[in-house]
Structure 1
Amino acid sequence: MEAFRLSKQAFASSLSGKGAALKGARWNSVGVELIYTASNRSLAMAEVAVHFSLATLPNDYMMVTIYIPDNISLQKLNSGDLAADWNTFPHPTTTQVIGDKFITDNKYCVLQIPSAVTQGDYNFLINPNHSEFKGIKIVRIENFPFDRRIFK
């Protein structure tokens, strides 16, 4: 399967989870390495776009296409498996506990979770410390200019 990630050009060729570990996010606490990806390009864009305005729209983002082998270990969570406030902003700590446990348990390489931004779509969280991670590869990196009409 393919997954997608929008990344600043300087970090586009790396899959490490170190960026997420610096500040933490919805699915990981500070210090926990986790790679955030989306099931499609539009979702990858939406997940990033919610953090910008027209004035702060970046011009150095790249769309990264990631190959995930079909036989990789995958855990799936649906909204019904999560606390009622899982998709609120700011994010609750309950979602960080789930992501942190996913990394600590190290049972699966990928965790499929619902998108908090686009109902009905899914994100894939990748554990860069799992033994199967070596099978996950970047297959394409391409310039991704945001369409400014999105922010009007």
Structure 2
Amino acid sequence: VMIPATLPKRFKIETITLAELPEKWNDPANRAHLQTLGSDWARSGRSAVLAVPSAVIPAETNYLINPLHPDFARIEIGTPQDFITDLRLIRK
């Protein structure tokens, strides 16, 4: 499932780049470290949105939204949509 969202202009988005992540960051065995990064960000209240590399397609970006942040109310949340994976991307 993917959920589209529209952010107001000049909206603060914190970013974690590939260079900031540990080696093999997208290996499921390293999940705890990434969960800690996300939890620390959410608790800090620095921003309502965190941009992170996609574990599936690292050149793409996923956006995490903190519903407890005061700016959350300024985000327009769209209708959830099915995310259809192109079967050519799945290794056999």
- Unpaired runs of at least 5, structure 2: none
For 1:31, the equivalent position in structure 2 comes to: none
Which of 13, 19, 31 is matched with 1:74 structurally?
13
1:85·1:92 contact (CA, 8 Å) conserved in 2? no
Map 1:121-132 → 2, pairs under 5 A: 121-132=60-71
Residue segments in structure 1 that go unaligned for 5+ positions in a row: 1-5, 7-43, 45-63
**What is the TM-score normalised by the length of structure 1?**
0.51
Partners of 1:126 and 1:93 in 2: CA distance: 19
Q: 1:18-76 deviations in whole A, cap 9, x for unaligned? A: xxxxxxxxxxxxxxxxxxxxxxxxxx4xxxxxxxxxxxxxxxxxxx3211223222111
**Quick check: which one's strand share is greater?**
1
**3-state DSSP class of the match of 1:92?**
helix
- Residue equivalent to 1:86: 25
- 2:4 pairs with 18, 40, 65, which one? 65
> Taking structure 2 as the reference length, what is the TM-score of the superposition?
0.79
Q: Kindly tell me: are residues 118 and 68 of structure 1, through their superposed partners in 2, closer, same or farther at Cα, counting changes over 3 Å?
A: same
| Letter in structure 1 aligned against 2:10 | N
Deviation at 1:138, TM superposition (A): 2.2
Tell me how large the CA RMSD over aligned residues is.
2.4
Cα 1:86–1:135 shift into 2, 3 Å: same
Quote the Cα distance in structure 2 between the aligned partners of 1:146 and 1:95: 25
Q: Take 1:134 and 1:110, find their aligned partners in 2: how far apart are those partners?
A: 12
Equivalent position amino acid for 2:46 in 1: K
User: In structure 2, how many angstroms separate the alpha carbons of the residues matched to 1:131 and 1:146?
Assistant: 32
Once the two structures are TM-superposed, the CA of residue 86 in structure 1 deviates from its matched residue by 1.3
**Whole-Å Cα distance in 1 between the matches of residues 32 and 11 of structure 2?**
28
Which amino acid letter does the alignment assign opposite residue 62 of structure 2? N
| Alignment of 1:109 onto 2:48 | yes
User: How many pairs align?
Assistant: 89
Q: Which has the higher contact order (CA 8 A, sep 6+)?
A: 2
